[in-house]
Amino acid sequence: MTGSSDNAKECSFTRAIVRPPSANFSTGLTTVDLGIPNHNLALTQHAAYCEALISCGLTLTTLPSDDVYPDSTFVEDTAIITKRGAIITRPGAETRRGEISSISSALSKYFKKLAVIEPPGTVDGGDVCEAGDHFFIGISERTNEAGANQLSRFLWELDYSSELVDIRDVKGILHLKSGIAYLGGNKLVVIDALAGRERFLGYEMIKVDLSEEYAANCVAINGSVLIAAGFPMFEKRLRDHGYHTIPLEMSEFQKMDGGLSCLSLRF
Ligand code: CIR
């Protein structure tokens, strides 16, 4: 079975929620020193990202950009959406907490009941990796154990299993999904620093070299894999595994610590 047909079942989606970067996007949070993002270029890159989602068969809900929350283009952090229900997070960064209200309104159109992470718990969606019926929940600077345990319970109520993965000792990644991505079937993209973790050994791992680590945050959708442009070794590796890849320019989002997955909520 090729990689592409592998990912068709578990990574199948019909919709996505996106929100273009606000004019003050460059005042958001970042830990990297890659310069100040150009707003127009960010808008162009975001538009190409949306086109790629549409080309994968998704119908988009585009929320208006929001100057009150400069990180609000990174919608993934505000909710965990599964095939059986959705959970509104409580983002770890205080400046991002208010982002959840517009996301809750948007999601209430599709879900009768939304579970909510409560204080003192914090969860960023970027720390939550769905792998079929199992979820990996990263414990990071943003997601704490109280939040992860609440999320585990909600997932259990939806008949999913989950486990916590502490990434606080892994340098250079903000969220768990900065270092792993699930491609469907038994396949997991993994950076070197996480590849030795026992919990991942049962998976067929597609490794990402240290020099291309940013590319680990890729997104499998309906038989294709969205990847950041400019990482040829990783792209070749995915193609060798049979995946259809869609490279996307991400430079302006990378400057703000954002990867491909964080720009949409897919369901
Ligand atoms: C933040 O620091 O919260 C944003 N500047 C970037 C969030 C990226 N989110 C993600 O990878 N899921």
Please identify, by atom number, the ligand 1 atom nearest to the C-alpha of residue 258.
8
- Residue 1 confidence (pLDDT) above 50: no
d(CA 102, CA 218) in angstroms, rounded, equals 26
Average pLDDT of the segment spanning 66-86: 97
pLDDT in tens, 130-163: 999 999 999 999 999 999 999 999 999 999 999 9
Neighbours of 236 (CB within 10 A): 11
Contact predicate 266/16, CB 8 Å: yes
pLDDT, tens digit, 9 for 90 and up, residues 173-229: 999 999 999 999 999 999 999 999 999 999 999 999 999 999 999 999 999 999 999
| pLDDT > 70: percent of the chain | 97
Looking at the CA of residue 31, tell me the nearest atom of ligand 1.
2
- List, in sequence order, the alpha helices (H) in the chain: 3-10, 39-55, 100-108, 145-157, 192-195, 232-240, 251-254
Q: Which residue, judged by its Cα, is nearest atom 1 of ligand 1?
A: 29
Residue nearest to atom 12 of ligand 1 (CA): 126
Which residue puts its alpha carbon closest to atom 8 of ligand 1?
258
Percent of the chain with pLDDT over 90: 96
Q: Before 120, cis peptide (omega within 30)?
A: yes
Could you report how far apart the first and last alpha carbons of the chain are, in Å? 24
d(CA 141, CA 133): 26
Active site residues: 175, 262
pLDDT confidence tier of residue 6, bands split at 50, 70 and 90: low
Which helix or strand (DSSP H or E) is residue 138 part of? strand 134-139
Please compute the mean of the pLDDT values over residues 115-121 and round it to a whole number: 98
| Contact of 30 with 256, CB cutoff 8 Å | yes
Within 8 A by CB and 6+ apart from 56, the residues are 13, 221, 222, 223, 224, 226, 246
Which of 31, 34, 69, 71 has most ligand 1 atoms within 8 Å of its beta carbon, as the pocket-test mutant? 71
| Spatial separation of the C-alpha atoms in residues 70 and 31, rounded to whole Å | 15
b/e map 206-216, b = 16+ CB within 10 Å: bbbeeebbbbb
- Closest ligand 1 atom to residue 257 Cα is 6
Cα of 5 vs centre of ligand 1, distance in Å, is 30
Ligand 1 pocket residues where CB is under 6 Å: 28-30, 71, 74, 76-77, 93, 96, 125-126, 174-175, 256-259, 262
Q: Which residue's CA is minimally distant from atom 2 of ligand 1?
A: 29
Q: How far is the CA of 131 from the centre of ligand 1 (A)?
A: 21
Residue 240 Cα to ligand 1 middle (Å): 30
Ligand 1 centroid to Cα of residue 174, in Å, is 7
Query: Per-residue pLDDT tens for 22-68?
Result: 999 999 999 999 999 999 999 999 999 999 999 999 999 999 999 99
**Which segments of 141-243 are extended strands (E)?**
161-166, 180-184, 187-191, 204-208, 219-221, 224-228
**What's the chain's average pLDDT?**
96
The pLDDT of residue 9: 80
Atom of ligand 1 nearest to the CA of 256: 5
Please tell me the distance between residue 257's alpha carbon and the centre of ligand 1 in angstroms.
6
Q: Residue 182: its pLDDT value, please? A: 98
In the predicted model, what is the mean pLDDT of residues 79-95? 98
Q: How many residues appear in the chain? A: 267
The answer for 8, left when phi > 0, alpha when psi is -120 to 50, beta otherwise, is alpha
